[in-house]
Structure 1
Amino acid sequence: MYNAASINKTLKGELLQETGFSVIEHLLLDSRKLSFPETSLFIPLVSSRRNAHQYIEELYRKGVSNFIISEPVPLEKFPKANFILVKDTLNALHTLVAFHRQQFHIPVIGITGSNGKTIIKEWLYQLLEKDYNIVRSPKSYNSQIGVPLSVWQMKPEHELAIFEAGISQPGEMVNLEKIIRPSIGIFTNIGEAHSEGFLNIRQKINEKLVLFAKSDILIYCKDYLALNECVLAFHNQVGKKDSQEGGGPELFSWSRKTDADLRITSIDKNNEHTRIDALYKQEPLHFSIPFVDEGSIENAIHCVALMLYLGKEQEVIQQRMDHLSNIAMRLELKQGINNCSVINDSYNLDLGSLTIALDFLQQQQQHATRTVILSDILQSGKSDATLYEEVADLFQKKGINKLIAIGKNIGREKKSFQQIEGLKTQFFTTTDEYIQQFNSDDFQNETILVKGSRVFQFERIGKLLEQKAHQTILEINLSAISHNVKLYQSLLKPDTKLMAMVKAFSYGSGSFEIANLLQFHGVDYLTVAYADEGVELRRAGITMPIMVMNPEPASFDAILHWNLEPEIYSMQILTQFMEEVAASNKNEFPVHIKLDTGMHRLGFVKGEIQELAQILTATPLLKVQSVFSHLAASEDAEKDAFTQKQGRLFYEMSHELQKALGYTVIRHIANSAAISRHPDLQLDMVRLGIGMYGIDSSNAIQDQLKNVSTLKTTIAQLKHLEAGDSVGYGATWTAEGPAVTATVRIGYADGYPRRLSKGKGKMLIKGKLAPVIGVVAMDMLMLDVSHIPDVAEGDEVIVFGENLPVQELANWAETIPYEILTGISQRVKRVYFQE
């Protein structure tokens, strides 16, 4: 049991103020994710862009009374709070959780590597949950912040822990090793993921191996040459250093190619299963898994090696491996029936992942009603009464309106939920029982979280709730958008604000879904092209400031009603808008003044500044929020002189206007490319557009951005043609010999450019490029797949994504990525997910 005094003793900090004994159970690092104020300890982290000490007052008002701080606060404002002063709050977090870890003497599995960490962790949980009460990392919590939050979950009732660790630069694993201190290590594999912070592949391996310095055993694959050599060198080095303590971790290797502790002798893929034969201690071993891809095979072998080390019998291994199930690596947000939104997280359930899913549900503002469909939580290690009281408390804190509970255990504890004022509840014993009485009319205009243990098969419920969709879908990675925004924020000066462009349906990615994410992450401004886009955002619960770039007189009434902020770019639009403001009896309505510095599209020119200033200073109707301009060629190094000329002219014009106004306004001219290429033009605010969606038109930081959008479809039918057979309208393609073609479910009505006909465009099937043949039709097109083995109807087809960038598609179409992204039809369903 922790309190402020005991934690201060551990941290060797200074207890500035102690106001009484308060039990601390939860660590809070994000003020937006507060669930249990009375038992939370807030640790405000400090970065170049954000100092979380600013949220202390807000959290104190919400009931938080325990804080670790690294800078002075006015104690008199917080008379009922405990404050511990330390030099560095992140270091304090690590020290506290490392101490917490030392209190437990159970097996702890630490997993690192380039790929497969989360899948191996989740599969080990599936394989071992019958034998142990297990605590594990929620989702992919493997960073300098995620690992402490994972390890803090360890409780006396746990019998086994499984944590994953990832690093992005040298020196980070030292901290994570002290926190996890694994007794059992698994090194999954090594690849190029997250390599930009390392000199070479061997440096990355050696940095990751630090995690296993105190482990009893290390499981790894010998077939990665660099990994094997580094492991042997590490073992030798640690063995000499720790010779008095036993010589470092024992090595448990497996290989397909050479002698190893676990020697894989054959791998036989058959339909949707793979049989793997091996030798272990000179005895034959075989098992099957319900997967055929190489990644799953490798991950499964790591799991088998671990089970062998734990002494599991071959029969147990065979039975459990054959029942491995898919791992949901992400929270998916989809369009549902009756104008609902559905968050599908139906493959695993524990308190940690439930809290994450409820946080994601709470972020959604598009519907007033929040519904949760929840199954029994299995293997929690707590009594049902204690467990469901905690879940009910979570529901109350997160503002859940409806609960549909499925399972015998949760049903026995229904009183915990029924006593929550305003919460509508229904209870069912089985998934089948619920499905038999399912009525789609019960769901209207609500956000529904589907969250269940895998044995309850909640994916069946998800299918009932999700809107039946065209098989061509656009996947939007919300985690990638968050990463890209943070990357650009890291390039900004500390006081520079960020305006995010969500015009044109957020570059094809969706409107409120993206705006909601940006609002959650504290972006300062949103920008839309037309007022109706802004109105849609307001109706979906977006409250942050929104600038309208193309205000039309017909939209002025909506702008005023929905508190949107128009761009004013001419004397005519200024006069017309002032008349509308006067008629509505408003004063100091916020506007943004557009200056023309060389684009010659919209905006006031230098000769109009004096007259503009006179009008603005003579009226109380308007308040200038910002003055801005538009760079014409910030991404082009050959046009840098022109860009700098625009910058100088903007400074002169904006300075003249601001001086006349007599008050400070926000000045902004930098777009995505200028943020990285022209930091001197960042000024008071920047406008982040296409860069947020993973595209750097200047290529200056493209390798640091994450892919956001993946457009995919499926094969509708395969055709086996003979020489002379033609394909498509106009018979523009003719087979020169025997050929196999695939008809796929996408056409120009979906936004696939017709100019990519006749071989110009290509798509990915099974990792291979297949050219478009014939002419792109409205709803379908054909690909030549003669060179792709084992292709089948229903196979996934990638139009663009991680391995086929949209920039490549744009090059083939002789256009720009903007046009491709914004041209994707609204009939193509968007699926949003958070990793």
Structure 2
Amino acid sequence: MTQTLRNIIPIIKANWIGQNDVAVIDAISIDSRSLQNGENTLFFAISGPNNDGHSYIEELIEKGVKHFVVTHIPEKVSGKANFLVVENTLEALQKFASYYRSLFDFPIIGITGSNGKTIIKEWLNFLLSPDYNIIRSPKSYNSQVGVPLSILGINEKHNLGIFEAGISTMNEMEKLQKIIRPTIGILSNIGSAHDEGFPSVAEKIKEKLKLFTSVNVLILNKNKTINAFVNQKIKTFSWCSDDKSADVYITKKNTGDLTELQVTYKEDTFPIVIPFQDQASVENAIHCMMVMLYFGYNHKVIQTRMAQLYPVEMRLKVKNGIYNCTIIDDSYSSDFQSLKIALDFLEHQKQHKKKTLILSDIFQSGLNNEELYSQVSQLIISNKISRVIGIGETISQYKSKFINSVTFKNVVEFAQSFDRLNFENETILVKGARDFHFEEIVSMLEEKTHETVLEINLNAVSHNLNFFKSKLAPKTKMMVMVKAFGYGNGGFEIAKLLEHHKVDYLGVAFADEGISLKNAGITVPIMVMNPETTSFPAIIQHHLEPEIYSIKGLKAFLKIAEQKKLKNFPIHLKIDTGMHRLGFEEEHLAELISILKDNETVQIKSVLSHMATSDDLKHDAFAQSQIALFEKLSTQLLSALKIKPIRHILNTSGISNYPDAQYDMVRLGIGLYGISNDEEEQKYLENVGTLKSVISQIRTIDQGESVGYGRRFIAEKETKIATIPIGYADGIRRSWGNGLGYVVINNKPAKIVGSICMDMLMVDVTNIDCKEGNAVIVFGENPSVNHIAKQLNTIPYEILTGISQRVKRVFFRE
């Protein structure tokens, strides 16, 4: 994409204020944190409920960005850049994308529905790429922002587009239709996702169908409910398994792990075998086959390619690697647009100064190889990659374009040289096309642990953070608690994501937690909530900020600070308003003021307290008394010392239940991890952690035989037992066994039988179709942490923080 500002100004109806309207633009950005922003980037300062892009303009100018689309020019940056002033920056982005789409005239496939959009898109890309140069939405870029950014990736060499459109409420699809302008439509499965955003299912269907107002053909599963809403003027190409009047009639038969489809089309009947049995995958595959039929592919080509369909991995995963490395696994796709996204993710999640990229040949860029690898080289330079390992015949030819690089023709050559590549203390992005089998590279690099993993959904963390941010006044700051290994979810990775979201403070319980984060490169201010006096020197050394809660502690800290000749070192004062755990009480205030008056060794960054009953409105009177006492004592302190520090008293439940007590900052804890004690609020939070394992062994026992220690389970009939490699040493409470708890296998609950062992538990799978190696959900959506805690008469904190660190954490982003 190459445009000048002069061309863009009338398209987005902007008022230009600047010095150079002929400046060349070759990149569009909405992310201030991307290292790919440069002097030819046009930055759209989009304002949302939780962030305002205008806040980052000064920082971006310092990094070399010169061109901005804004609703207003912040006073500090007036005259320092080119500004295109519009009424709404998101609408401006959409207008520009719509204009850009109009410059190209080739088939565009638009996909919408509740489920399956990304899988259909990726499978179509696989099935059609031998014959077309395809541009498609990277990852799941299907939103009001994602769609325009996807469209702006088109170039002159592309001759087929495949784009997703996702909506969550009314009056959104019309905007996406104007941007995508599909010529071929696919309506995938209509399910319950985002039902809350629509008055009824009927309105939801009508809204989704707005994507197809101008298509040449709409491909869909023939269904009376859907057909009632389809405009009769739109040509449809339908399929069905129970209505022979559909254009394509399909019958299905399962054979082993495969599904055989008998396809009847234009009086011909032919078989297609696909390597899946689940209904969702079969439906997604049929939609793809329908596109191939519409494009006129012969039966043999369709049969051959459909048989090669594969599970789609839609997530970027962060894993622990060998020799203190961190692995970012994106080993199933290699295209230019998704490489940009993966490099941004690498920067957000890097745990080491050294960054390595393992990259395969890149396909379907729409560029010639010389131009493509020149642009890849620029991406790598802007993202400050330390070394590049290229794998593939083509990338090997362009090795000279990469600084500190080594290339191999294939994974076999790489494996032969593995030991001399010396992987150690680095973050490694593994980014390769599926044909290169980069999962073998990930396996070589990954730290070897047992098959139980806690998967952490970083998208859900971001969602939950933004949910609670939406409850805050615009100027209220946010501290997020990452103590206790991020409530069991992983400390650094969560902290890095929070830093990416520009939270104001992180909170840890003890100094060693904060030191680990600082050593790993976290730069957000970190408050140590429960510092021991022996840790004060280390706190000072690592620039942590201690909470001071007693006269004794204050004097001890001041003594060390004075010895080190510190000036204005940040500290935080804790007031006890009724929790009676830690903090200065009212009777201590005079002495506290006396000690701190005119003291320049320390600076009081905040004054805080902690509520004891914010989660239980039965104790509202007590909570209100705490807030009132905090107001009284903190005001007295601020007045006497003539200071204006941050004040904060609210925790997660306080944010929701006592919004009038936000003061200057709030402290978000377990809510970030998708846990609320309020059933209504819980509906709006997303599950963050899913504890998974596998079936190690299956056996059948006879009536009267027992399972586990103490023979606490005796079979009343012939019973099929599966053993799962997770036990109380991994954090599963023994009391969750003996028929109380369950795991989920193939979407069915399997009751835990007998006592949970140190490293294993056993479940009854008599009525479940499963085999050794199948995945097991220990907790996640079902059973939820809330449910387990309730059954065990405890709290969700104890379940989450109890998961042993020997359980591997895998972080992923959709």
Q: Aligning the two structures, in what range does the TM-score lie when normalised by the shorter sequence?
A: over 0.9
SS of residue matched to 1:695: coil
Instruction: State which of 530, 545, 550 in structure 2 corresponds to 1:550.
Output: 530
1:825 aligns with 2:804: yes
SS of residue matched to 1:746: coil
Instruction: State which of 610, 613, 620 in structure 1 corresponds to 2:590.
Output: 610
In the alignment, what sits opposite 1:242? Answer: none
Alpha-carbon separation, structure 1, partners of 2:77 and 2:52: 21
CA separation of 1:219 and 1:803: change in aligned 2, threshold 3 A: farther
AA matched with 1:191: G
Q: CA shift at 1:803, angstroms?
A: 2.9
- Encode CA deviations 1:282-336: one digit per residue, 9 max, x unaligned: 3213211122222111100111111111111111111110111221210000000
Q: CA shift at 1:266, angstroms?
A: 2.6
In the alignment, what sits opposite 2:32? Answer: 31
Q: Does structure 2 retain, via aligned residues, the 8 Å contact 1:185–1:212? A: yes
SS of residue matched to 1:288: strand
Alpha-carbon separation, structure 1, partners of 2:179 and 2:732: 50
Instruction: State which of 367, 372, 392 in structure 2 corresponds to 1:407.
Output: 392
Q: Does structure 2 retain, via aligned residues, the 8 Å contact 1:693–1:708? A: yes
Alpha-carbon separation, structure 1, partners of 2:512 and 2:37: 39
In the alignment, what sits opposite 2:144? Answer: 144
In the alignment, what sits opposite 1:194? Answer: 194
Alpha-carbon separation, structure 1, partners of 2:586 and 2:245: 76
1:172 aligns with 2:166: no
SS of residue matched to 1:19: coil
Task: Structure 2 unaligned segments of length 5 or more: list them.
Answer: none
In the alignment, what sits opposite 2:779? Answer: 800
TM-score by length of 1: 0.95
Alpha-carbon separation, structure 1, partners of 2:418 and 2:809: 25
CA separation of 1:234 and 1:294: change in aligned 2, threshold 3 A: closer
- Encode CA deviations 1:223-276: one digit per residue, 9 max, x unaligned: 4xxxx434433314xxxxxxxxxx3x2112222222343544432223332211
SS of residue matched to 2:24: coil
CA separation of 1:77 and 1:86: change in aligned 2, threshold 3 A: closer
5 Å matches for 1:326-345? 326-345=311-330
SS of residue matched to 1:37: coil
SS of residue matched to 1:803: coil
- Encode CA deviations 1:617-647: one digit per residue, 9 max, x unaligned: 1422221111111111212121222222211
Alpha-carbon separation, structure 2, partners of 1:673 and 1:279: 58
Alpha-carbon separation, structure 2, partners of 1:380 and 1:323: 23
5 Å matches for 1:55-454? 55-73=56-74, 77-78=78-79, 81-223=81-223, 228-236=224-232, 247=233, 249-417=234-402, 423-439=403-419, 442-454=422-434
AA matched with 1:803: N
AA matched with 1:773: V
Q: CA shift at 1:77, angstroms?
A: 5.0
Q: Does structure 2 retain, via aligned residues, the 8 Å contact 1:695–1:705? A: yes
CA separation of 1:552 and 1:375: change in aligned 2, threshold 3 A: same
SS of residue matched to 2:46: coil
CA separation of 1:653 and 1:385: change in aligned 2, threshold 3 A: same
% of aligned pairs identical? Answer: 48
Q: CA shift at 1:586, angstroms?
A: 0.8
Alpha-carbon separation, structure 2, partners of 1:590 and 1:63: 32
SS of residue matched to 1:625: strand
In the alignment, what sits opposite 1:485? Answer: 465
SS of residue matched to 1:811: helix
Task: Structure 1 unaligned segments of length 5 or more: list them.
Answer: 237-246, 418-422
- Encode CA deviations 1:462-490: one digit per residue, 9 max, x unaligned: 11000112111100011110111011111
AA matched with 2:195: S
Q: Does structure 1 retain, via aligned residues, the 8 Å contact 2:700–2:718? A: yes
In the alignment, what sits opposite 2:52? Answer: 51
Q: Does structure 2 retain, via aligned residues, the 8 Å contact 1:668–1:684? A: yes
Q: CA shift at 1:50, angstroms?
A: 2.5
5 Å matches for 1:524-673? 524-673=504-653
AA matched with 1:554: T
SS of residue matched to 1:354: helix
Task: Give the number of aligned pairs.
Answer: 813
In the alignment, what sits opposite 2:658? Answer: 678
Q: CA shift at 1:607, angstroms?
A: 2.2
AA matched with 2:554: L
Q: Does structure 1 retain, via aligned residues, the 8 Å contact 2:6–2:21? A: no
Alpha-carbon separation, structure 2, partners of 1:279 and 1:119: 24
Alpha-carbon separation, structure 1, partners of 2:47 and 2:77: 23
AA matched with 1:539: N
AA matched with 1:639: H
Alpha-carbon separation, structure 2, partners of 1:346 and 1:536: 29
Alpha-carbon separation, structure 1, partners of 2:362 and 2:421: 28
Q: CA shift at 1:379, angstroms?
A: 2.5
Q: CA shift at 1:39, angstroms?
A: 2.0
Q: Does structure 2 retain, via aligned residues, the 8 Å contact 1:371–1:449? A: yes
Alpha-carbon separation, structure 2, partners of 1:543 and 1:82: 31
RMSD value, Cα: 1.5
Q: Does structure 2 retain, via aligned residues, the 8 Å contact 1:4–1:18? A: no
SS of residue matched to 1:161: strand
In the alignment, what sits opposite 1:13? Answer: 14
- Encode CA deviations 1:579-604: one digit per residue, 9 max, x unaligned: 12112221211111111111111111
In the alignment, what sits opposite 1:473? Answer: 453
AA matched with 1:502: V
SS of residue matched to 2:96: helix
Q: Which moved more, 1:606-615 or 1:95-104?
A: 606-615
Q: CA shift at 1:674, angstroms?
A: 1.6
Alpha-carbon separation, structure 2, partners of 1:231 and 1:661: 72
AA matched with 2:225: E
AA matched with 2:17: L
- Encode CA deviations 1:121-169: one digit per residue, 9 max, x unaligned: 0000000001111100000001110000001111111101011011111
Alpha-carbon separation, structure 1, partners of 2:574 and 2:184: 61
In the alignment, what sits opposite 1:518? Answer: 498
- Encode CA deviations 1:553-592: one digit per residue, 9 max, x unaligned: 1111110000111111111111111112112221211111
Q: CA shift at 1:189, angstroms?
A: 1.0
Alpha-carbon separation, structure 2, partners of 1:661 and 1:76: 35
- Encode CA deviations 1:335-370: one digit per residue, 9 max, x unaligned: 001010001111111011101111111123421110
SS of residue matched to 1:96: helix
AA matched with 2:431: K
